[in-house]
Structure 1
Amino acid sequence: MKFTNTTNVKDFIIVGFPGLPPEYYGLVSVLLLLLFLAIVVGNTFILTVIMYERTLHKPTYLIFFHLAMTDIAFGAVTLPKIIARYWWNDMISSFGTCFTQMFFVHSLGAIHSFLLLIMALDRFVAIWFPFRYPVVVTNTTICIACVLCWVLTFIRMLGIVLHALTLPYCNLNIIMQCYCDHISITRLGCGEGVAYVKEVSITNALVTLLVPLAFIIFSYFSIIIAALKMSQTERSHKVMSTCAPQIFTTCLYYVPRCFVYLSYNLGFTFSIQARIVITMMYSLIPAAVNPAIYCLKTQDIKMALTQRFRKTRSSIAHRTDHKRVLK
């Protein structure tokens, strides 16, 4: 096939799950809608609790706050279009819209990765340098670190997207994925620069994934060693229970991605359908599950919710008694 040097593609076609029979379109759209609602409602609940409970205005929970924002944003960027694809058979995504979605998909994934790095650093300093922790790790420093994480990642990913835009897109416009991502789009590019654009993107992805992961592994391994060395069993248990939500959240994000990368490098291949399902699972399931982890595994959030529930119940009981007295 002979390619021209100009972009002929005006729209992209989002296939979604290839080979899915039409009779399952309704079921899939409903499941995706429920997943979207779980992500939005669960993470909005976490944002609200952290925002209005003064006892949670601490560095660790500010990081949870930013993680919840990335989860909501990622769900909002990816799911509405694929739901529309199966609900109304809306498969068309304009050229600009597709590249915009790609920008936010990769930006939010990278931001989440570096927020997990900040969270691991927070726990590392808290366990190994407890006396310096209140001085070094404050709400201000965490806010600055998180904001820089957002801003610098957006700038870096803008360069990656603009680099992909330098490619001509000639004749192919079918994206075998549920949303526009870098691999799916650049695979449709033509010309001599495709290989170089892909190499730059892969290098960027590996840095985004492996650099934070290396420190995170070191950090939590050090924390586990510190907990095992503690003489008091109760204190050791408290340290591990404090770090448990972070470890669960980190594993949900990194383990599936590492599995996919290792499988690919070891020569294991997946069908297109399996690859898309795995990608959707490790991209979206953690966003839906994380709020439950924060609520069930984080002692301060459980206490705040319990106290709020007791106050509400007491207030209702008081109003009921007051009405009975008036009668």
Structure 2
Amino acid sequence: MSGGNRTRVTEFILSGFPGLHPDYFGLVSAVLFSVFLITVMGNVTVFILFITNRCLHKPTYYIILNLTACDLLFSTTTLPKMISKYWFKLGTISFDGCFIQMFLVHYLGSVNSFVLFLMAFDRYLAICHPLRYVNILQFSTVVLLSVTVWIIATFIPLMMVVRAYPLPYCASNIINHCYCDHIGITVLACTDRTLYSFPAFVGAMITLLGPLAFIVFSYCFILIAVSKIANKQNCMKSLSTCSTQLIIISLYYLPRCFVYLASNVGITFSTDIRILIIVLYSLVPPMVNPFIYCLRAKDMRTCLFKHFYRRIQPRNTQVLTISN
């Protein structure tokens, strides 16, 4: 295309699932809306439990609160646009809006990765250095670490946006994805994207593999420490305190590592399958994480049961009074 005929793109179109038949748009929108509703209700419930129960004001739950906020923000950033795509046939997004969404998607993904790093650090101290745990992870320390995570997570996504925004977008404006991400946008640029994609790939690997490396090493030390416990019951109790975080960490890292490894060994997927995998590993963890907290974390499970018991008890008392 000659330079004189180029017209700058002013908006993008999100393709969603390109092969999806229009007859299934209503079903897909209903499923996505249900996922959004469950995600919001579950994560808001975690916030309410934390605010109303002082027994949850511990380092572990302060860290979990960061993950809850991140999950809620990520779902709010991506799902409404995906729902409107299939519910109201509104698949367009403004040029600036797409880059804002791209920044938030990568930023919140980075925050998520660093928070999982903090969760592993919390368990490492609790099991490998129990006597120093209270002194190291004080309230002020957890707040400082949490603020640091939310700040340093901005650098790489901001760099990606700053480098991608000025590129000439003058051809197709159709993004083969359900939301705006770096690859989906920059592939549409009318220029060689190698100089832009490689630094972004390195940044993504640092964000993903850096915390993952620490998580793996920390749990290796945890397993070594637990194996030295003579009492089998105490050994299982120590491992059970890690189970909640291990499930959450696995839900975040395993699908991503699988996708990256598959692409490097030559395994290819159709566009719809690739998008479906990305959507699943992006949206399912924020939906199921609150259930994992409430069912696996003893303190949170106890607070949840007490909360429902207090709501049910007055009703039962009122019924008994009326019957008498």
2:147 is aligned to 147
Q: Distance in 1 between matches of 2:251 and 2:31?
A: 20
2:109 is aligned to 109
1:277 is aligned to 276
Tell me the TM-score normalized by structure 1. Answer: 0.94
Tell me the TM-score normalized by structure 2. Answer: 0.95
SS of 1:280 mapped into structure 2: helix
SS of 1:93 mapped into structure 2: strand
Q: Deviations over 1:244-277 (max 9, x none)?
A: 0000000000000000001111111111111000
Q: Distance in 2 between matches of 1:223 and 1:152?
A: 27
Sort the Cα spacing of 1:36 and 1:171 in 2 relative to 1 into closer, same or farther, 3 A.
same
1:255 is aligned to 254
Sort the Cα spacing of 1:181 and 1:96 in 2 relative to 1 into closer, same or farther, 3 A.
same
Q: Cα distance, 1:232 vs. partner?
A: 1.1
Q: Cα distance, 1:154 vs. partner?
A: 2.2
SS of 1:267 mapped into structure 2: coil
1:25 is aligned to 25
- 1:188-207 to 2 correspondence within 5 Å? 188-192=188-192, 194-207=193-206
| Alpha carbons 1:50, 1:57 under 8 Å: kept | yes
Gaps of 5+ in 1: none
Sort the Cα spacing of 1:228 and 1:27 in 2 relative to 1 into closer, same or farther, 3 A.
same
Q: Distance in 1 between matches of 2:3 and 2:172?
A: 10
Q: Percent identity?
A: 43
| Alpha carbons 2:156, 2:203 under 8 Å: kept | no
Q: State which drifts further: 34-43 or 219-228.
A: 219-228
Q: Distance in 1 between matches of 2:267 and 2:225?
A: 38
Q: Distance in 2 between matches of 1:3 and 1:278?
A: 38
Check if 1:62 corresponds to 2:59: no
Residue identity opposite 1:140 in structure 2: S
Q: Please tell me the root mean square deviation across aligned C-alpha atoms, in Å.
A: 1.8
1:119 is aligned to 119
Residue identity opposite 1:119 in structure 2: M
Q: State which drifts further: 279-288 or 305-314.
A: 305-314
Q: Cα distance, 1:320 vs. partner?
A: 5.5
2:217 is aligned to 218
Residue identity opposite 1:246 in structure 2: Q
Q: Deviations over 1:43-85 (max 9, x none)?
A: 1111111121100000100111110111111111001111101
SS of 1:13 mapped into structure 2: strand
Q: Distance in 2 between matches of 1:203 and 1:128?
A: 32
Q: Distance in 2 between matches of 1:172 and 1:318?
A: 65
Check if 1:53 corresponds to 2:53: yes
Check if 1:305 corresponds to 2:311: no
SS of 1:131 mapped into structure 2: helix
1:130 is aligned to 130
Q: Cα distance, 1:170 vs. partner?
A: 1.4
Residue identity opposite 2:268 in structure 1: T
Sort the Cα spacing of 1:319 and 1:199 in 2 relative to 1 into closer, same or farther, 3 A.
same
Check if 1:238 corresponds to 2:237: yes
Sort the Cα spacing of 1:312 and 1:90 in 2 relative to 1 into closer, same or farther, 3 A.
closer
Q: Distance in 1 between matches of 2:280 and 2:229?
A: 38
Q: Distance in 2 between matches of 1:91 and 1:254?
A: 29
| Alpha carbons 1:6, 1:168 under 8 Å: kept | no
1:181 is aligned to 181
Q: Cα distance, 1:229 vs. partner?
A: 1.6
Check if 1:295 corresponds to 2:273: no
Gaps of 5+ in 2: none
Q: Cα distance, 1:125 vs. partner?
A: 0.9
Sort the Cα spacing of 1:142 and 1:6 in 2 relative to 1 into closer, same or farther, 3 A.
farther
Check if 1:168 corresponds to 2:168: yes
SS of 1:169 mapped into structure 2: coil
Q: Distance in 2 between matches of 1:79 and 1:214?
A: 30
SS of 2:188 mapped into structure 1: coil
Q: Deviations over 1:6-49 (max 9, x none)?
A: 77000101110011111000000000000111111111111111
Sort the Cα spacing of 1:49 and 1:188 in 2 relative to 1 into closer, same or farther, 3 A.
same
Sort the Cα spacing of 1:214 and 1:93 in 2 relative to 1 into closer, same or farther, 3 A.
same
| Alpha carbons 1:12, 1:173 under 8 Å: kept | yes
Q: Deviations over 1:281-314 (max 9, x none)?
A: 0000111111111111111111222333444444
| Alpha carbons 1:26, 1:86 under 8 Å: kept | yes
2:89 is aligned to 89
Q: Distance in 2 between matches of 1:105 and 1:4?
A: 34
SS of 2:177 mapped into structure 1: coil
| Alpha carbons 1:7, 1:168 under 8 Å: kept | no
Q: Deviations over 1:189-238 (max 9, x none)?
A: 1224x211101100000000000000101111221222122111121111
Q: Cα distance, 1:146 vs. partner?
A: 1.1
Q: Distance in 1 between matches of 2:94 and 2:219?
A: 44
Q: Distance in 2 between matches of 1:156 and 1:205?
A: 8
Q: How many residues matched?
A: 324
